[in-house]
């Protein structure tokens, strides 16, 4: 397959993800990230069917997840971005095959009312690794939250302040 873009940073391929990944060597990838269509009936320029029966959508997702898992190196990371509705069954599928690390919830509210349902307030970013230990993991330090008026800390940490890293 010929890349559509090549720079010093790497190569970019455009095509059906299953076909592209089938050409990738087993256990050769450090990180695999999927931002698939969410089966919400959207119109994509690629004209893919985004309105499938649930079982068909999930079968398709499991097919490319299998490929992602195949190409991952031991210690490699797999991220899956989707609605909680789909990441619940897909997370269970991955959980039988990889090691769960985190369900990262991303606050997304469009605040549009939906009849007879609660409004979904987050999207789910699942983080799994192949094997027991991640090869690379550098969590961000979050600054200690402070009042923007007086600069004082917003929490008292229940007497454990001395255990906190001053860098957050």
Q: Which of residues 36-55 bind ligand SAM (CB under 6 A)?
A: 36-37, 44, 46, 48
In the complex, least distance from residue 57 CB atom to ligand SAM, rounded to whole angstroms:
11
What are the helix (H) ranges across 9-134? Answer: 17-22, 54-71, 84-95
In the complex, least distance from residue 4 CB atom to ligand SAM, rounded to whole angstroms:
13
Contact (Cβ atoms closer than 8 angstroms) between residue 65 and residue 80: yes
Q: What is the three-class DSSP state of 112?
A: coil
In the complex, least distance from residue 83 CB atom to ligand SAM, rounded to whole angstroms:
11
Torsion angle (degrees, nearest 10) of CA 8, 12, 18, 20: -70
Longest CA–CA span in the chain (Å) reads: 59
In the complex, least distance from residue 53 CB atom to ligand SAM, rounded to whole angstroms:
16
Residue 6 or 35: the one with the smaller Cβ distance to ligand SAM is 35
Q: Which of residues 11-30 bind ligand SAM (CB under 6 A)?
A: 16-17
Size of the site for ligand SAM (CB under 6 A): 8
Residue 134 makes CB contacts below 8 A (sequence gap 6+) with: 75, 77, 101
Q: For binding to ligand SAM (CB under 6 A), which residues are involved?
A: 16-17, 35-37, 44, 46, 48
């Amino acid at each position: 397959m010929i890349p559509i873009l090549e720079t010093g940073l790497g190569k970019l391929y455009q095509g059906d993800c299953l076909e592209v990944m089938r050409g990738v060597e087993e256990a050769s990838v450090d990180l695999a990230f999927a931002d698939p269509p969410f089966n919400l009936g959207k119109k994509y320029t690629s004209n893919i069917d985004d309105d499938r029966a649930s079982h068909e959508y999930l079968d398709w997702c499991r097919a490319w997840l299998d490929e992602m898992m195949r190409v991952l190196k031991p210690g490699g990371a797999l991220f899956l971005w989707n609605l909680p509705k789909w990441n619940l069954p897909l997370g269970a599928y991955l959980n039988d095959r990889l090691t769960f690390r985190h369900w990262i919830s991303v606050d997304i509210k469009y605040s549009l009312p939906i009849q007879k349902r609660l409004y979904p307030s987050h999207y789910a970013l699942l983080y799994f690794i192949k094997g027991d230990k991640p090869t690379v993991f550098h969590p961000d330090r979050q600054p200690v939250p402070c009042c923007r008026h007086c600069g004082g800390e917003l929490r008292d940490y229940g007497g454990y302040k001395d255990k906190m890293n001053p860098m957050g």
